[in-house]
Structure 1
């Protein structure tokens, strides 16, 4: 069946226009002009922290502006390609246009999802912590599988990552792990991955080959910035130092460089051992602790708002996604109903479909709550 280029391009233009309106391109251009003026000031680098904030903000705003305007240019180029192919009845050109149409439709879908990321901290880098839950050694192995899945996802998208802490289980896998994903909107994108994940499979650790169900918890928080006001009095902190350990509990550091930091009022605990010195681990632990307290503060504020608004149905359950490897192959999100049959692809980082469905679902939940 021949592709209806006219209607397809018309639909794409409608979506891009709505994205342009939501993104406020005119407002972004005003911001770019103002930030470029600040960035060109001769005394800019007299205050290094301020200079870094200005250049970082300029880079982010330009990227947001270019994402929309470059998409509009791609659609213009596609339309010109189609016209040329149709006028000359050139099958090769029309085939090229069809391929580009499919590519643009996917890119526009991604662009549309990005416009839904408008939360207070959505544009931040993300800090992800994975903890093994019920299920013994299978749960620890599952935690390591999930960590690899997210690191592979970040790699596929060209995002930088940094592993901050790993606590290995005795037999296999991880008790817990914490790592950063450094990319614009990493927190807003990955926040929908927070929750309890369930794995069902024939256990490779059971010599009787029995089916095992195990769980792992995923926590996603926004990375603290220097402009955030989260002050922690020294009296509220308990800091312990210990030697870093590797798989099987073996010591990998002959000095007490690892740091465990406890926020006494909330009981929040952060451990760091992947930096080379105690000072570096302490700084990294404090930054993640501040990030967790920042999110906790926002959650408390949101809870207070919900209480004022009345009873609103809870949106996040105990278990948000199942990974079934036996007796059939399927990964299914229990909130959005999105599912995929290729479990190996998902565990290798192909989770964009789940993330997109989760973002749309979450924004729908927020709209329903606001209207309640």
Structure 2
């Protein structure tokens, strides 16, 4: 890389990182870390397990945030030294290493910059993701399963924990619906831009005439609530049904009526959970999902449109936000941001960070324009 190009790129990256440091207010973050460390050092903290977990989780998140920023600043400084050495010694191998490291640092800073755009009330929370097959019959059910796999693979790539709450299997192939949690800092803020209708076009593997089929699936993303969140659900507003868990045979959860379905009578909201062997555990998990969805409804009413937290869940023609085309050509394209990729298999294997980041930037631009 030519010296002027390198200097211009690193100067621009340094300026971006400085802006990020100001937005994050690292001095305030470090002060909060010190305060949290004092709390963690108090043995009485663990008298309240839920609060202790909240404090330690917050501490870990902030420490990782500071380490990430300071690490990138250090990497930029190291790059300048490596580049100077490569020029002095005319070392092609070191120069190539500088180019690779510069590309890595640039990508990391861009991702961190996107994180600073997540400033919504619930953006820091874990996410509950629901996928429902729409128009398209068995192909839609198969597509819903493909999307579940895509998001789980995405989470695995980042080392995030996924907990599956409920899966309703379709008769021939795929799934009718699924609900799972992604447990990571800013999981909700990150994944909330995935809400909406997704469309698949391909040669149907279920059509013996090999015809092209279009199918749809709906994604809903809501934040996990904490005990301090104001969402009251009186017992008399809930109908509880228990039933035997379904799914692939041989699972011990299928031998008892452990699955739980909760119906919120005033709104008609229905959630179910069958991942645990205990009926009580399933009820507790279902209540977490129910409260999250009721909060989404509450916020949507306050803002006068349902898409604010839940997204479009019609899952049919004319309202899709992303197309996955596998035939007659290979392309995944987001219709809001215009971001696209010809690596359809990579996308379906969880390589969706570029789509998510483009979505977050698009949403911020929409909010600013409004």
> Contact conserved, 2:252 with 2:277, CA < 8 A, in 1?
no
Question: Counterpart in 2 of 1:235?
Answer: 236
Shift of 1:87: 3.1
Q: Distance in 2 between matches of 1:131 and 1:147?
A: 10
The answer to whether residue 232 in structure 2 is matched with residue 214 in structure 1 is: no
> Contact conserved, 2:152 with 2:162, CA < 8 A, in 1?
yes
> Contact conserved, 1:137 with 1:173, CA < 8 A, in 2?
yes
Shift of 1:42: 4.0
1:286-306 deviation per Cα after TM superposition (whole angstroms, max 9, x unaligned): 0111111122222222228x9
Question: Counterpart in 2 of 1:143?
Answer: 144
- SS at structure 2 position matched to 1:204: coil
Question: Counterpart in 1 of 2:53?
Answer: 52
TM norm structure 1: 0.92
Q: Distance in 1 between matches of 2:53 and 2:103?
A: 39
- SS at structure 2 position matched to 1:117: coil
Change (3 A) 1:89 1:162: same
Question: Counterpart in 2 of 1:112?
Answer: 113
Shift of 1:45: 2.1
Q: Distance in 2 between matches of 1:291 and 1:322?
A: 28
1:155-191 deviation per Cα after TM superposition (whole angstroms, max 9, x unaligned): 1111111111000000110000111111111111111
Q: Distance in 2 between matches of 1:30 and 1:244?
A: 48
> Contact conserved, 1:163 with 1:274, CA < 8 A, in 2?
yes
Question: Counterpart in 2 of 1:91?
Answer: 92
Q: Distance in 1 between matches of 2:83 and 2:337?
A: 37
Question: Counterpart in 2 of 1:2?
Answer: 2
Q: Distance in 1 between matches of 2:154 and 2:17?
A: 26
Q: Distance in 1 between matches of 2:170 and 2:245?
A: 14
1:247-295 deviation per Cα after TM superposition (whole angstroms, max 9, x unaligned): 59x9961211111101111111001111111111101000111111122
- SS at structure 1 position matched to 2:320: coil
1:208-255 deviation per Cα after TM superposition (whole angstroms, max 9, x unaligned): 11111111000111112222232210000011111111159x996121
- SS at structure 2 position matched to 1:253: helix
Question: Counterpart in 2 of 1:301?
Answer: 302
Question: Counterpart in 2 of 1:354?
Answer: 355
Question: Counterpart in 1 of 2:284?
Answer: 283
Question: Counterpart in 1 of 2:132?
Answer: 131
> Contact conserved, 1:168 with 1:174, CA < 8 A, in 2?
yes
Change (3 A) 1:252 1:33: closer
1:41-72 deviation per Cα after TM superposition (whole angstroms, max 9, x unaligned): 24322333332222222112222222212211
Question: Counterpart in 2 of 1:70?
Answer: 71
Q: Distance in 1 between matches of 2:203 and 2:43?
A: 65
Q: Distance in 1 between matches of 2:321 and 2:293?
A: 21
The answer to whether residue 364 in structure 2 is matched with residue 363 in structure 1 is: yes
Question: Counterpart in 1 of 2:12?
Answer: 11
TM norm structure 2: 0.92
Question: Counterpart in 1 of 2:21?
Answer: 20
Q: Distance in 2 between matches of 1:32 and 1:174?
A: 44
> Contact conserved, 1:244 with 1:251, CA < 8 A, in 2?
no
Q: Distance in 2 between matches of 1:275 and 1:65?
A: 37
- SS at structure 2 position matched to 1:274: coil
Q: Distance in 2 between matches of 1:54 and 1:245?
A: 37
Shift of 1:121: 0.8
Q: Distance in 2 between matches of 1:329 and 1:216?
A: 19
Q: Distance in 2 between matches of 1:326 and 1:51?
A: 52
Q: Which moved more, 1:16-25 or 1:76-85?
A: 76-85
Question: Counterpart in 2 of 1:266?
Answer: 267
Question: Counterpart in 1 of 2:155?
Answer: 154
> Contact conserved, 1:245 with 1:251, CA < 8 A, in 2?
no
Shift of 1:77: 1.3
Q: Distance in 1 between matches of 2:333 and 2:287?
A: 36
Segments of 4+ moved more than 6 angstroms? none
* Ranges in structure 2 where 5+ consecutive residues have no aligned partner: none
Q: Distance in 1 between matches of 2:293 and 2:204?
A: 34
- SS at structure 2 position matched to 1:151: helix
